[in-house]
Amino acid sequence: MSSEPFRERKRESMRHLSIPQIREKLTNVRKLSIRVRQELENDPRKGVRQLLMSWERREDRIRQLLKMYQDMNGFERDLWTMGKEHVAGIDEAGRGPLAGPVVAACVILKPNTVIPGLNDSKQLTAARRACMYEQIRENAESIGIGIVSSREIDEINIYQAAKKAMILAVNQMIMKPDHLLIDAMELPLDIPQTSLIKGDARSNSIAAASIIAKVTRDRIMNDLDSRYPGYGFAVHKGYGTKEHLQAISRSGPCPEHRMTFAPLKNEWNT
C-alpha cells in the first residue's frame, strides 16, 4: 500500500469521480491532501462521506496496530542497544491437547521489521494466523522448529516435552541467537535468555514464534486427520472437545493419543 499522498491530476475535482472509483482510490492510499479531504467531506453524496469515514477508521486501526507493535518491541530494543543483534523469540503450541505432538518455534525477525497486528496466536483467527505466518517467514532471519511426539510426551511428561521441543527449535536455527526471549520457560542452553510470563503478548519475537508453532502444529493435525479419520483432528486439533471425547469412547484411542492425559489414563490405561 502506498504511503504517498493522494495524487491530484490537474486538480481534477473528486466530484467528477463515481463512488466505486473513489472507493478504489481510497483503498490504495495512506494519506490524503487537505484539498482532497475537504472535497470528500463536502461531497453531497452520502456514500462518498461514508467512504471517507471508513477510510479514517481503517487508518486509525492501522495506527493502533503500529503503536502496539512498537510497544511489543520493548524487550528487543533494550537488547539491541546492549549489542545483541540476533534476538530470538521462543514459544510452543500443543501442551493441552489429548492427541498429537507439542511443537515449538524459535524466530529471529529481520531488523526494522514491522508486522502490524502481530500478537499472541491465541488472539488471532485461523485465517489471520495463516496470513501472519507468511509475513513472519518473509521477515525472519532464521526460524527453527522442534517437534516432540505424543509417545515421548507420555514418556517424559508434557512439561519436559515442551522444553525439549524448544531446545530442538533453537538447535535448528541457521543463525545462532545472541539472546533468547522465552514464553514462561528457562532452557538449559549456553545462550543468555529472559523468561517472560505471557511473553507472547509482550514481545513481537515470542508472538512470531507462537504463530509459527501454532500454524505448524495445526497443519500436522490436519495431516493426522487423514491418517486417523473419525476423530475430527482437523477441527479440534486434538483438544478435549465433546466431539473428540465421544469419538474416543466410540472408537478407542489411536496411536497419536496421549495416554497419560486424563481421561485417557483413567479409562484406557489398564
Can you give the pLDDT at residue 270? 55
What total of structural domains would you count in the chain?
A: 3
Residue 87 included in any domain: yes
d(CA 259, CA 99): 9
Residues β-bridged to residue 180: 88, 193
Q: Are residues 36 and 117 in the same domain?
A: no
| 3-class SS letters over 88-134 | EEEEEECCCCCECCEEEEEEEECCCCCCCCCCCHHHCCHHHHHHHHH
Domain of 67 in residue numbering reads as 14-71
Q: Model's pTM, two decimal places?
A: 0.83
pLDDT bin (cut points 50, 70, 90) of residue 111 is confident
Question: Does some domain include residue 5?
Answer: no
Residues 195 and 148 both lie in one domain: yes
Residue 1 has pLDDT above 50, yes or no: no
Residue 9, domain member (yes or no): no
CB 48 within 8 A of CB 19: yes
Domain boundary among 25, 41, 71: 71
Query: Does any domain span residue 201?
Result: yes
Q: Are residues 123 and 210 in the same domain?
A: yes
Is 93 found in the same domain as 62? no
What confidence tens digit (pLDDT) does each residue in 213-255 have? 999 999 999 999 999 999 999 999 999 999 999 999 999 999 9
In the chain, DSSP assigns E strands to: 87-93, 102-109, 140-148, 179-183, 193-196
Q: Please compute the mean of the pLDDT values over residues 194-214 and round it to a whole number.
A: 96
Residue 159 sits in the same domain as residue 240: no
Q: Residues 142, 62: one domain?
A: no
Same-domain pairing of 171 and 49: no
Q: Is the per-residue pLDDT at 100 higher than 80?
A: yes
Predicted local confidence at residue 52, as pLDDT: 85
Please identify, among 71, 91, 118, the residue that sits at the C-terminal boundary of a domain: 71
Spatial distance between the Cα atoms of 77 and 73, rounded to a whole number of angstroms: 6
Q: Is the per-residue pLDDT at 119 higher than 50?
A: yes
CB 153 within 8 A of CB 255: no
Rounded to whole angstroms, how far apart are CA atoms 186 and 184? 7
3-class state of residue 241 by DSSP: coil
Specify whether 79 is located in the same domain as 62.
no
- Answer yes or no: do 164 and 250 share one domain: no
Query: Does residue 163 share a domain with residue 84?
Result: yes
Lowest mean pLDDT: which of 7-11, 21-25, 189-193? 7-11
Q: Note whether 201 and 128 are same-domain residues.
A: yes
- b/e code 72-99 from CB counts within 10 Å (16+ = b): bbebbeebbeeeeebbbbbbbbbeebbb
In a domain, 8, yes or no: no
Residue 1 is assigned to a structural domain of this protein: no
Q: Which residues of 200-226 are buried (b: 16+ CB within 10 A; e: fewer)?
A: bbbbbbbbbbbbbbbbbbbebbeebbe
Residue 137 lies in a domain: yes
